[in-house]
Every structure is written in structure tokens, then in C-alpha cells.
Chain A
Amino acid sequence: MLQLTGVSKLYRTSEIETGALREVSLSVGAGEFVAVMGPSGCGKSTLLNILGLLDSPSAGSYRLFGEEVASLPEQALTQLRRQAVGFVFQSFNLIDDLSVADNVEVALIYRGVSAGERRKRVAEALEQVGMGHRAKHRPGQLSGGQQQRVAIARALVARPKLILADEPTGNLDTGNGAAVMGMLLDAVAGGTAVVMVTHSEGHASMAARVVRMLDGRMVGETRVAA
């Protein structure tokens, strides 16, 4: 489904140049669950940003659904992002001023889904993550685990082909972490590819593949026995 070939990402400031990613190559198939591990600052989040079309690589090729996207203009990237990608962040990244339902709905508004259809799908997605009874609450009124469920509902509601999860369990206790992992596995079972950055060996072991990174390079890949 997606294929990175020799992708690098450099950050330039006036004095120094930092390589966040160096010659990374990776491919992910449809419905595959890939975990990315590595110490802080190794380039995991940069990798996710590029995979999610939030950022463009400095060099290398990125093919998504067979199409080269590394050098597409901003507008085209926005279109692709709408069609294919859902995000789950470590810090949930819900919009504080909007209610739980509104937060989930945001993903559909930008995809041009009709209002009636939006209501239906938002309700479904919230039920799916067990947050239907909190639809009117503000993010600030929820616990971390609850916020992350909402964030997952937001990622699922648009029915993306690819979910990118950046340490989705990093801020959660064990119970909530397990629940979030369950939801991601459900998504994979439904045919969605998931790329998850994590520090947890346990959670990584639930993926089909574990990719290890160090200093912006890929240093190893493990297939987990099914």
C-alpha cells in the first residue's frame, strides 16, 4: 500500500543541520500492523509525519497507493490525507473548545460528509470506543484514557486505509492501554493498515512487524509470529 525508498529528512536552522531521517526504506501492506520502536529523538515521529503527509521528505521517494507523493503540492497532500489517513497522538490532541462529538465530527466535515450521515457515523464511532455517553462533554472533563478513546473514534470515523498512531498508549495506565490496543487490533482486523510508534515492547509485540530505529536510520526489523 505504501512504500518509502531512501527517504531522508533534514532540519536546517541558521547554524546547524540535523538529519531526522536518513535513507529510510519501508513498505506497509494493506491491513498490516507495523510497530516502530526506538529511543527518543530517533526520528519515529518524523517518520509518522511523513507517512501521514503532514510533512514532506527532503530526499527519497514515497509512493502511496502506487502514486509518488513526495513532491506533491500542499493541496494534493490535503486531498490524499482526507481520503486515506487517520491519526492517533500520544497527547490525544483533541480541540479543547469543541465537545467530544464535535471533535469526532471534525474529521468528517473536512471530507464533505452530509450532516445526517455525520451524526450517524459519529454516534457509531463513539459507541465503538465506549464513549457514547460522553458525547456532550468537553475534552477537559475526561480522563486521559477517555480522551484517547475519543481520538481513536475520530481516527476511525473517516474509515481510513491507514491509521498512524504516535505512542497512543504512552500517557495511559495499563488498563486503558490494553483497551486502546484492542481497538487498534479491531481496526486492523477490519482491513486498515496501522503504523504505531511505541516504547512498549508488550504493545509492539501485538503488531505483525516491529521496525527498530536509531539516530534516524532503520536498524532492524522483526516479524512477530502470528
Chain B
Amino acid sequence: MPGFYLKAAWRNALRTPLHSALNLLGLSLGLATFILVALFTHEETNYYAHFANHADLYMIRMGSEIYGSKAVTTPEPADSVAQLKLDFPGIDGIARAADTQEEVVNGEQVISNQTVLIVDPSYIDVVGVPLLRGDPHSALSAPDSVAISETLARELFGTLDCLGRTFSLSDRETVRVTAIYREMVEVQDGARIMLSGAGENSVLSRMDKQDSAHVLPFTYIASYLLIRSPDVRARIEAGLADFAHRHYQFYIDGMKAYFVLMPLDAWRLQGKKYGDIDAHPLIRLLAVDAVGLLVLAVATLNYINLATALAGRRGVEMGVRKAIGASRRQIILHLLAESVALTCVATLLAIALAELVLPVFSTLMFVHLSVDYLHQPGLLLALAGFAVVFGLLAGAYPALVLSAGRPAESLRLGRQAEGRGLLRQAMVLLQYAVSIAMIVGAVVIYRQYHYAANDIDGVDNNLVYQVDDYGAGPNVFPARLLDLIGALPGVAMVGALGTGDDWYFHRPDQVIAGSAKIMNTPVGSRFFEAWGLKPQAGRLFDGDHTDTDMIVLNQSAVGAFGFASAEAALGQEIVAEMPDGSKPTRRLTVVGIVPDFMVETIYGRIPPRVFIVTPPSDYSLLMVKLTGRDVPGTVAAIKRAEREVSGHVVYHDGFMDALLNSRYLDMLRDAESIGGFSLLSIFVAALGLFSLAEFMAQRRTKEIGIRKAMGASSAQIAALLSRDLLMPAIVANLIAWPLAYFGATWWLSGFAYHTTVPLWLLPAASVLVLLVAGLAVLLQVMRVAWAKPATALRYE
């Protein structure tokens, strides 16, 4: 019997090969999207599942209270995890990883820009890194030992059996391979090298020797705690406030800091629950899921629509089948079996399609997705089950309609008696509404990304090379290093951000209590010039460090101090006090005003700032403005200077625009993926419309003949058909416009600084969709409308 159904389905498909192929393709595209989105969702919700101990791993995060609202945004003090382990017995282990960029040199072979994680010797064991070779307990105990990923092992040595082989990092350290681990994006940035941090001079060792007060919060060290016992966990959570007071009074005073123990698994998607305002991937995941489901919905509607249209032409066949004895149940079964057979083929096609685009999609979404159907029979089974259920659901409507016809009527009409196709129109309408809304969404996200990454920070990041200390404490940038860098021919100037005291600023006639907190921002004297900032009023600092009691305000600070205008603030006196009186009060004079510009992410507002010149000994971040001549050579020279002068201090280098853009990369990926999916949904909808146009024309061939006999011109017929086919696309705007507009506005309102939804975008998206739809129906309409009326009438 199944063979019979398959044969019938196959023959039926062959009757209209083009439309069967288009129908199949549309459905496969929808299903392929669904498979990709499902894989992505699975990956995101099981993000750290590759870490054997993921369920017992925790992070310590630091929050602070800024302008009355609590938020976990600040990286925790780098030594807090080690401190915690000392204070709370029962913690099973700690694992820290600092990252740096290195060149990998293996004889002639050089691989640059490799992220290297400098990790605790116990890292592999504590985290549960899946090893392919090597011993998890002892692999990284020697200072020169490295664990490398399987792909790097293949690249360097052509084999996984390379334990004991050596290579060097950035031309200086020779390291020995002691373990091979499975490739994972979950390890920071997909790092392919883990270097033992056991050495005396490693970042981790040096940090362990330092006093807490000198370890700055801004670190690049990711730390995990392994806590197996729930009791220990509860004890830590209860004791965190005391712990903070014991060791980090400094931060509590300065920024009302507090600590949060966050499960690693929660951090990825539920960080917001723990007050982490930078965590928004859950929304992102939901958006991708929603978009994926919408594409599937469009494809499904399309499929049902076409299946019903196709089925309508089989009225005679069904009439004959009934006349020779088939029951309604048998006809329904027959049609459902055909539908399931078709969706099974579509699913196979979809699996192939998904497999084909998986690498591109993985790169786009910055996840490592892979499917191994052979080793995941559950997945295959799920897909097969899905195909069957989907086939039953999608085939149900056409089967019920088609089987309901009375045989005599079907035979007489030569087709199924049918209504005016309102349901079909509604389905087409929905497809268009979804497509239009998705285009609007993608463009708005892209505009916001562009705005965030390029416009609102208000500074010229181009050619600004950033050299960050590692929270290594004062005097990290010796004068000699600054001189060396400043003297390079490719360097225009050196700006700097510094560390400084947490002053409270106010006007002489104001009191501290109740006044807004205005942030002290210590900078080098060439800070503004390096970022290409021009004063809005007054002047910038002069270059020779004489401006010790002069300050520059940003625009927000002008308002916060209550000055009427930027000009009014010039020459005014500002008082700086330490609330606890630990330092003598200073009296400062405003010499210039600069526009607001972004130092943090755009999820929060730009705070009012007082810029004050700080001596080079307090610099914590250099901003080296390059001239643009021989950029690679200059960067190499800066690195050489760092090594020469600073000994073992490790700097975190990179181009500012790249670093800033990377903050908004998620947004760009969202725009790209939603944009891609929306184009796909338009394409699928157009495929459907193309087929539908022909069915509609065929269904109305007689009517067209009559109308022509009654005097209708070809143009009038074309207009009539086009109107009926395109009307849903026009009415769809009524649904899509308000939905897209309010949805996009709501999404944008989540940003302190955002673009708007341009009104032209709505008609533009509609025009694009209409154009595609118009093209899809044009051919069919022309063919039918310009046919000789006698041909049309003879059809009957």
C-alpha cells in the first residue's frame, strides 16, 4: 500500500513538474531554516555543555550602583576568585584564563593573531575541557606546557599524535604540546592555545603576589569557580557581602560595589536575572527563533496553499476514485500519505541544504554548529517524526476539502467545487505581512548597529591603537615607553586615560548631598586630540602638563552642574572633595567643554564627566594615534618597545575601532541573519505566488474567455488578475506597518542612544515585496490575458 501511495504521489507530482518542484523547494527552504534555527537554539541553551563540569561552574561578577540603579557591568577584581577560594573552604577548584594575542611560529610556518589563553595549571581539570590526547590532571603543570586544539594540531603537525612536539610563541617562548582538546567556540573567542600560567612571571602568578588594592577591576581574566556542594554554594552566597567588606572596601566606597555568584550556565542566557545589563542574548535568541519560525510559517502556508490549489484540479480523479468504490476515509488516507511522502522528500532536501549552509551560518552567528547525523540517531529520528507530523498537518486541509466533494459534482465540474478562496487569500496576505515586517526589522537593526558603531561615540577611532595595561597597577607605562612610542615616525600623538581618585565634584555654592555623581575621568594631556575631539567652547588641555588645576567638562556635566550653557561654564570654579576627607579639597577651573562622547556601550546613557590631567605614572590606557604611514611596521615597533621597556608586563593591544565595533557585533549579526531570513521568506512567498498565479489563471480560464467575449480587453483582464493576485500584498501592509513600526520602536527604546524608524522604510519594504510579487505573477498574467478568447473558451 505505501508503495502505491508513493507511486500516486510521484505521478501526481510529474503532472505539473515545475510547480511540484517549486512547492518542494519552498518547503525545503523553510525546513532548512528551521533546522538551522533549532541547532542554534540547542547550541545557545547548552552553550557550556562541552565543559564536563558546566553544571557546577560559577562566576563571580561585580555590580555597582550608578545613579541609583544597580547593575552588574564591571568586571570583577582579578584576584577575587583566588581570594574567595582562601576565604571559603569547600570550593573544589578555581580556573582562570587571561587572553593575549600571539604569533605561532613553527619553523618556517607562522600563524599570526592567535588568541592564547594563559590558564591555571588546573584549568583543564576544573572546567572539564574535553581532551582528545593528554592527561587532564597534569598536562599544564610545567610552565612551558601548552594544550592546543585539534585543528591547530593538524595545522602545525598534521596529526593529533603530537604530544611532546614544540613550537614557539611570538618568537620568544618555546612551548611543548602536552594535550589536545576538542575545538570549542565556548573557550574565549575559540582560542586554540592554552598556555600554562604556572611560570613565575605569568600574569596569573604576578597577580597572586599583588595586594588587592593594587589590582584594578578592569581585567581581561575570565575566572570560574568549581563548587559541587550546594551547602558551600549557599555559604558563599550568604557571605559575599562580608567578603566584599573584608577585601574590597575600596570599591564599595568608590562605586557602591557588590558581588554576585552567577552559575556559568545562567550567565549566557539569563544574565539579566542576576542584574547583568550587558547580557541580552536571550532576547537575541528569541528574535532568531521568532524569525526562523516565521520563515517556516511562510513556507507552511505556502505549501498548504499550493497543495490545496493542486488538489482542486484533481476533482475528476477523486470523483472517479469514489465512483469505483473508494470511501472518503480511503481518499483522505491516500492524500495524507501523498503529503507525508512529499514532506519526507522535502525534509531530506532540507537536511542537505542546512548542511550546505551550516558553515556560513555558524560564522555569521558566531557559534560552532555541527551535526553528525550518524552519531546522533535521536536527531534523525526527531527530523523523521517532524516530517511525518508536518506532512499530516499540512496535508489535512486539502485532504478534507478534496474528499468532501460529491463524486457526481466533481465529475460534472471537472474540478472541485470551491468557495471564493478567502482562506487562500488570507494565507497569502499573512506571508506578505511577515515578509514586510521582517525587512523593516532587519533594516532598523542594521541602522542602529551602524549608528552605534560609527555615529554616536562622536570620536574618530580611525587609526587609534589602544595599549591597555592588565590592571597591573601604577607606573605600568614608564616614561621611556611613552618616549619610544611617541618618537616613532608612524605615530602622530599619544593620548591616555588614567586612574585617579574618586572625587566628588560640585560648584562652590552647592552641597555634595543630593548632587548628581559626576565622574572623574583622568586623562593624558593629548587625550582629546588623539580621539579627534574638538572643544565646543573654550579650549582643550595644552600639551605640556601645566594644566594641573584646569578641567574640561563634557556637555552632560554642564547640565549636571546647572550651568546655563557651555559658554557660561567657562572660567567657573569647581570644587573637588573626597567625602571622607582623606585628601585636601581642590579648587579647579573650567577651561573647556567637549561634546558628549561614548566611552561605554550604548546600552546606558553617557554620564557627566570631569576631565582632569593626570601624570603619566597614573596612565592605564594609551591611545596612540597613528599617521597612517606604514601601519603594520608601526604596530610592530610599538610591540617591540613594549617588550623592551616593560619586561614582563603584558599589554592588551588592538585598534580602537575594531575593539569598539566588536561590542556591537551581536547587533550586526542579528541584522544580517534577520535580513537573510527575510529575503528567504520573500523568495519562498514569491515561489508560491508564481505557482498560485498559474492555478488561479487556469481556474479562471473560462471566466476570462467569457469576459473577453463580453468585450474585455487583454489589458483589462491583466488588471483584473493582477489585482486579485496582488491585493493580499497590498492589504498586508495594513497589518505589517503598525506591527513593524511599533516593534522596531520598542526594540530601539532599549538603547539610551538610538536612531528612529524612518517612515520611508515602511513603503520601501512594501514596494520591494510588491516588486518581487509582481514579477512572480507577471509572466502568468501576460500569458493568460493575451491568449485568444476562443482558446480560453475551448478549455471548457
Contact = CB atoms under 8 A, between A and B. Distances in A.
Contact of A106 (B702, B707, B788, B790): B707
Contact of B711 (A82, A95, A97): A82
A111 interface: yes
Contact of A54 (B702, B713, B788): B788
B420 A110 contact: no
A81 B706 contact: no
Contact of B712 (A91, A110, A158): A110
A55 B790 contact: yes
Contact of B705 (A74, A75, A93, A96): A93
A78 B714 contact: yes
Nearest to B710: A107
Contact of A75 (B706, B710, B713): B713
A128 interface: no
A54 B708 contact: yes
A52 interface: yes
A78 B796 contact: no
B703 A111 contact: no
A93 B711 contact: no
B712 A78 contact: yes
A46 B107 CA distance: 89
Q: Which of B708, B709, B789, B796 has the most CB of A within 10 A?
A: B709
B161 to A, nearest CB: 68
A158 B710 CA distance: 9
A149 interface: no
A224 to B, nearest CB: 28
B65 to A, nearest CB: 69
A93 B702 contact: yes
Interface residues of B, number: 20
Contact of B710 (A74, A96, A154): A154
Nearest to A98: B703
A49 interface: yes
Nearest to B713: A78
Contact of B703 (A49, A78, A95): A95
B788 A78 contact: no
Interface string B703-746: 10111111111101000000000000000000000000000000
Given A93-B796, A95-B703, A110 B710 contact: yes
Nearest to B715: A75
A55 B707 contact: no
23 contacts: A54-B708, A54-B788, A54-B793, A55-B788, A74-B786, A75-B713, A78-B708, A78-B712, A78-B714, A81-B709, A87-B710, A95-B703, A96-B703, A97-B703, A106-B706, A106-B707, A110-B711, A110-B712, A110-B713, A110-B716, A111-B711, A158-B710, A158-B711
Interface of B: 420, 702-703, 705-714, 716, 786, 788-790, 793, 796
A170 B790 CA distance: 20
B417 to A, nearest CB: 8
A97 B421 CA distance: 11
Contacts of A107: 710-711
A158 B420 CA distance: 28
A138 to B, nearest CB: 11
Contacts of B786: 74
A8 to B, nearest CB: 15
A56 B790 CA distance: 9
Q: Which of B705, B706, B713 has the most CB of A within 10 A?
A: B706
A173 B348 CA distance: 58
Given A49-B790, A74-B786, A93 B707 contact: no
Interface in A36-57: 49, 52, 54-56
Given A54-B789, A54-B793, A95-B703, A106 B713 contact: no
B223 to A, nearest CB: 72
Contacts, number: 57
A166 to B, nearest CB: 9
Contacts of A56: 788
A95 B706 contact: yes
A81 B716 CA distance: 15
Contact of A78 (B702, B705, B711, B793): B711
B707 A54 contact: no
Q: Which of B705, B788, B796 has the most CB of A within 10 A?
A: B788
A95 B420 CA distance: 12
Interface string A89-116: 1010111110000000011001100000
A177 B26 CA distance: 52
A54 B711 contact: no
Interface residues of A, number: 24
A93 B793 contact: yes
Question: Closest 9 A-B residue pairs measured CB to CB?
Answer: A82-B711, A110-B711, A55-B790, A54-B790, A49-B790, A54-B789, A78-B713, A107-B710, A87-B709
Contacts of B703: 95-97
A87 B712 CA distance: 13
Given A74-B786, A81-B709, 4 more contacts: A93-B702, A95-B706, A95-B707, A158-B710
A87 B705 CA distance: 12
A82 B702 CA distance: 18
Q: Which of B703, B716, B790 has the most CB of A within 10 A?
A: B790
A52 B790 CA distance: 10
Contacts of B796: 91, 93
A179 to B, nearest CB: 22
A47 to B, nearest CB: 11
B709 A110 contact: no
Contacts of A78: 708, 711-714
A184 B547 CA distance: 109
Nearest to A151: B706
A106 B789 contact: no
Contacts of A93: 702, 705-706, 709, 793, 796
B151 to A, nearest CB: 60
Nearest to A80: B711
Nearest to A78: B713
Contacts of A96: 703
Contacts of B713: 75, 78, 110
Interface in A55-74: 55-56, 74
A54 B705 CA distance: 9
B59 to A, nearest CB: 66
A185 B50 CA distance: 91
A97 B707 CA distance: 13
A94 B420 CA distance: 16
A107 B712 CA distance: 8
Nearest to B413: A96
Contacts of B709: 52, 54, 81, 87, 93
Contacts of A87: 709-710
A54 B788 CA distance: 7
Contacts of A75: 713-714
Contacts of B714: 74-75, 78
A54 B707 CA distance: 11
Nearest to B792: A54
Contacts of B708: 54, 78
Contacts of B706: 93-95, 106
Contacts of B789: 54-55
Nearest to A164: B709
Contacts of A95: 703, 706-707
A91 B702 CA distance: 11
A91 B420 CA distance: 22
Contacts of A91: 796
A19 B495 CA distance: 94
A97 B716 CA distance: 18
Nearest to A94: B706
B793 A106 contact: no
Nearest to B421: A97
Nearest to B703: A95
Nearest to A155: B710
Contacts of B711: 78, 81-82, 107, 110-111, 158
A49 B788 CA distance: 10
A52 B710 CA distance: 10
A172 to B, nearest CB: 16
